[in-house]
Amino acid sequence: MGNKIDLIKIRRDLHRIPELGFREFKTQQYLLGVIQNLSTERVEIKTWRTGIIVKIHGHNPTKTIGYRADIDGLPIIEETGLDFLSEHPTEMHACGHDFHMTIALGVLANIIESPLKDDVVFIFQPAEEGPGGAEPMLQSQELKEWMPDMILALHVAPEYPVGTIAIKTGLLFANTSELFIDLKGKGGHAAYPHLTNDMVVAACSLVSQLQSVVSRNIDPLDSAVVTIGKITGGTVQNVIAENARLEGTMRTLSSEAMEKVKNRVQSLVKGIEIGYDCECTIDFGSGYYQVYNNEPLTREFMDFVEQETEATIFECKEAMTGEDFGYMLRDIPGFMFWLGVDSPYGLHHSKLDPKEDAIQLAVNALTAYLMTKGN
């Protein structure tokens, strides 16, 4: 199926304007511009905060198929050296959401051109990287009125070659929880440590102790991750720090393991308070529900891709990535899959450079799948 829109131009335009969760104002305007330029026959558009929901009415609907694309970027300074580098100096589409949006637009344009028997709802969802747009979007009146009967989404996979799709039934992505810990002690002159409670030392000790949670408290046959991605503290080289802050994320394959990890983090933080005579506060930020693929729909999709598309499909293992699409899959049967985009740099890397050939391949495969599933 030929494209009514220039997918490479769209991807590059979107790549230039990455915005953080719930601040995707330019992105929303850009997406609306593209969508409104397509035929308006059978098409209804709603906005929800910085997100968009588009319904394409089928000619004799018996169900509604949902397709979700996330639209936010990350607070990362881009270092790809591309001609279409981010115009926002501290933000980057380093998780491939520019691809996700472009592919959704490509499929949407095809379905508008050849409407199905069934209704299709395209969900352009804000804030996947945080604080999470899927759960509040699901609760919104706007989406409730157009609730799909099944739903699907993809995520780019830099580690897989272009032309491949990877998926598995059941658990695909982990449960997640953010982690923010503030430490407050007594600062002072660098030469008088005995008169202070140094929060740089306390924070370093806490980071080391947190490494024991996964290695000593989680069943070795289960999996978990505790990552501290950012430490801040202190003011200047010759002042002992009164404050420090750790920012991180925790991942588990079950909600029980998540409870255990959180309890251990709380206990270790209490130990730091006693050991370093300081005050600490823990904020678990936002947490995402696991991504769990519906078995029959996933198997049907796998068979379809293998038999009817140019893509190669294979079964992958679960990953410790998080995705708030998990909330949609908790309420609506469906699945998520990895799309191979072949980049030497991985997700959340400042040099992530997915291969654009993957866009057309995904648009073709998804259009063909929807044409079959919705007719």
Ligand X SMILES: CC(=O)N[C@@H](CCC[C@H](N)C(=O)O)C(=O)O
The secondary element (H helix, E strand) that includes residue 100 is: helix 97-113
For residue 175, state whether it binds ligand X (rule: CB under 6 A). no
Supply the minimum distance, in Å, between the C-beta of residue 230 and ligand X.
11
Q: How far is the CB of 190 from ligand X (least distance, A)?
A: 34
Residues 284 and 16: their CA atoms lie apart, in Å, by 32
- What is residue 290's three-state secondary structure? coil
Which residue, 3, 214, 263, 10, is CA-closest to 110?
A: 3
Q: Rule CB under 6 A: choose which of 323, 327, 332, 374 binds ligand X.
A: 323
Q: Which is nearer to ligand X, 115 or 340 (CB)?
A: 340
Residue from 321, 343, 364, 367 in contact with ligand X (CB under 6 A): 321
- Looking at the Cβ atoms of 187 and 326, the one nearer to ligand X is 326
Cβ neighbours, 10 Å, residue 320: 17
Q: Find out whether 155 is annotated in a ligand binding site.
A: yes
Pick 64 or 176: Cβ nearer ligand X: 176
**CA atoms of 167 and 153, how far apart (whole Å):** 11
Number of residues that bind ligand X (CB under 6 A): 12
Token output for 187: 């600062």
Which of 24, 91, 98, 129 is catalytic? The answer is 129
Q: Is 118 a catalytic residue?
A: no
Is 129 designated active site? yes
Are the C-beta atoms of residues 325 and 293 closer than 8 Å to each other? no
Question: For the window 76-115, what string marks contact with ligand X as x by the rule CB under 6 A?
Answer: -------------------x--------------------
Which residue is listed with tokens 């658990």?
171
| Beta carbon of residue 251, minimum distance to ligand X (angstroms, whole number) | 7
**HSE of 299, CA atoms in CB hemisphere, 13 A:** 3
* Residues paired with residue 123 on neighbouring β-strands, in sequence order: 53, 68
CB neighbour list of residue 96: distance below 8 Å, 6 or more residues apart: 155, 156, 158, 341, 347, 352, 354
Report the nearest approach of ligand X to the CB of residue 40 (Å). 33
Which range of residues in 46-54, 142-150, 315-323, 356-364 is near ligand X by CB under 6 A? 315-323
Residue 289 tokens, joined:
């529900």
Using the rule CB under 6 A, is 252 a contact of ligand X? no
Separation CA 205–CA 225 (nearest Å): 18
If one asks whether residue 19 binds ligand X (CB under 6 A), the answer comes out as no
Which of these, 104, 37, 40, 34, lies nearest to 70 by C-alpha position? 104
Which CB, 95 or 165, lies closer to ligand X?
95
359 in helix, strand or coil?
helix
Q: Is residue 176 at the binding interface for ligand X, with CB under 6 A as the rule?
A: yes
If binding is defined by CB under 6 A, does position 119 make contact with ligand X?
no
Of 194 and 230, CB closest to ligand X: 230
Q: How many residues does the chain have?
A: 375
Residue 160 binding ligand X, by CB under 6 A: no
**Binders in 267-296 for ligand X, by CB under 6 A:** 288
Residue 58 is a binding residue for ligand X (CB under 6 A): no
Which C-beta is closer to ligand X: that of 85 or that of 228? 228
Q: Which of 13, 19, 24, 70 is catalytic?
A: 70
Residue 248: strand pairing partners: 179, 228
The answer to whether 95 is a known ligand-binding residue is yes
Distant-in-sequence, close-in-space partners of 61: CB < 8 Å, separation ≥ 6: 117, 118, 119
- Exactly one of 249, 252, 293, 343 binds ligand X (CB under 6 A); that residue is 249
How many helices, marked H, and strands, marked E, lie in the chain?
Answer: 10, 17
* Annotated binding-site residue? 349: no
Would you list which residues are annotated within the binding site for Mn(2+)?
95, 97, 129, 155, 348
State the catalytic residues: 70, 129
Q: Which residues bind ligand X (CB under 6 A)?
A: 95, 129-130, 155, 176, 178, 249, 288, 321-323, 347
- Would you list which residues are annotated within the binding site? 95, 97, 129, 155, 348
